[in-house]
Amino acid sequence: MTTRNNMLRSYLFSTVLIISIVLGGVVGYFFEQVRLLKPLGDIFLNLLLTAIVPLIFFSISSAIAKAGSLGRLGKIMSRMIFIFLLTGLIAALYALFVVKLFPLVNNFPIELTSPENATTLGFSDQLVKVFTVSNFSQLFSHEHISALIVFSILVGLALVSAKENGETFVKFLQEGEDLFMRVISLIMYFAPIGFFSYFAVLVNELGPKLVESYIRIAVIYYAASLVYFVVVFSIYAYLAGQLAGVKLFWKNLFLPATTALATCSSAASIPANLLATKNMGVSSEICETVIPLGSIIHKDGSVMGGIFKIAFLFGVFHSNFSGLDVLCVAIAVSLLVGTVMGAIPSGGMIGELLILAVYGFPSSVLLAVAAISVIIDPIATMLNVTGNTASSMLITRLVDGKTWLLKIKEIKA
C-alpha cells in the first residue's frame, strides 16, 4: 500500500508541476504585473542550487562505496555494461540526428546572454576546465558540478579500497545523503509556486515564442520516441532471438510499458518488467540483475532527453550546435545524464546542472531546462523501462549464446 501511495503521490506531483508551468505561462502572457513574482522564482532556484551541491557529494560517494561488490558478478556484469553503453550511445546518436533534422528552436526572437567561453574552448581545454578545479573550495560551487562529481567518485573508490576501515565514513555519507534528500523534499514543497512564478516572468519577458518552443519539443520528442520504441527495440529483439525474439518481446511488453507510462517511475515498473522478461525466457539470474540495475543506470529515454535539452539551450542562446568537439561533448554528457546521474537521487536536476556547467550556460535557465524533463517524463520513462527489457534479451544472447531461446523451449518441453 505504501508503494502504491508513493506512486500516486509522485504522479500527482508531476501533474501539479505541469499545471503550474502552464498556468504560469498563461498568466505571464496576459498580465504585465507578473514581473513582481520574480523574487519567488529566484528564491526557489537559489534554494535548489544551494542544497543540490552537498547532495551530489554525499550521493555519489556513498553510492560507489555501497556498490563495490558488484564486480563479483563477472560475466553478466561485463556484458551488461557493454550493452548499456552501446544502446545508450545509439539513443544519443539517434536523438542527435533528430534534433539536427528538426531544430527545436526556430528563429528565437531574443538572444539571451551566456558567458563568452560557453563553447569557444578546444576539446582538451574544455575537458580540463570541466572536470577539474585549481582550488578545493571551488568544488562547492554549482558552476563546477562536474569537477565535484569526479572528486566524489574518487572518494567513493577510496572507500571501496579502504573496506572496513572506511565504514564509519560510509555511514556518515549515507546519513548526509538522507539528510539532504529531506532538505530537497522540503524545498520541493515550494516547487509549484517557484515554477509558476519563474515561467510567468519568463513568458512575460520572452513572449509566446518560448511556449511554441516547448510545444515543438514535446511533439518532436514524442514522435521520435515512438519511432525509436517500435523500430529500434524491434531490431534489438531480432538481434537477440530473430523473429521468435521479436514476437516474444512484443507479446510481453504491454505490462511494463503501460506501468511506466502510468507511474512515470522506472523503479515502480521493476516488478512488471521482471515478470515480462521472465515470460520472454530471460533467466532469473540475468533479469534479476539487469532490470533493477538498469532502472538506475540505463535510461535511453533520459539520454535522448539530454540531447534535446542541450540542443534547446544552444537554440535559445543562438549558439552554433555543430562541430565535432561540441557534438562529442553533447553525446558524452547525455550518456552521463542517462547513466551515472540516474543512480543519484534527484539525478535529473543534477544532470541539468551538469549540462549548464559543461557548456557554461547561466544557472538562471535551470528551471527552463527542467521543464523539458517534466514535459517528456511519461514517454521518456517508457523508453527507460522497455529499453531495459530489450537489453536483457541482448545480454542473454551474449551470455547464453544464440541458442538461448531453443534452450528455453527444451526446458519447457
Residue 393: pLDDT band with limits 50, 70, 90: very high
Between CA 272 and CA 398, with CA 93 as vertex, the angle to 5 degrees is 55
pLDDT exceeds cutoff 90 at 273: no
Q: Report how far apart, in Å, the C-alpha atoms of 72 and of each of 75, 77, 84, 293, 370 are.
A: 9, 8, 18, 15, 37
pLDDT 10s digits, 8-67: 666 677 678 778 878 888 888 888 788 888 888 888 878 877 887 787 788 778 767 765
Domain containing 363 — which CATH number?
A: 1.10.3860
* Spatial CA neighbour of 298 closest among 278, 273, 280: 273
**pLDDT value of position 310:** 92
* 281 or 385, higher pLDDT: 385
* Spatial CA neighbour of 302 closest among 377, 369, 224: 377
Contact between 283 and 277 under an 8 Å Cβ cutoff? The reply is no
* Spatial CA neighbour of 156 closest among 58, 73, 240: 58
Q: Domain residues for 246?
A: 2-412
Cell triple for 314: 544552444
Max mean pLDDT range (160-164, 357-361, 378-382): 378-382
Cell triple for 204: 512575460
User: Residue holding cell 543540490?
Assistant: 52
**pLDDT value of position 117:** 45
pLDDT 10s digits, 102-150: 988 766 555 555 544 444 445 566 567 667 888 888 887 766 777 887 8
Separation CA 393–CA 272 (nearest Å)? 16
Q: Is the pTM of this model over 0.75?
A: no
pLDDT exceeds cutoff 70 at 303: yes
State how many domains the chain has. 1
Separation CA 129–CA 383 (nearest Å)? 33
Contact between 375 and 218 under an 8 Å Cβ cutoff? The reply is yes
User: Residue holding cell 547513466?
Assistant: 339
* Spatial CA neighbour of 286 closest among 274, 269, 300, 295: 274
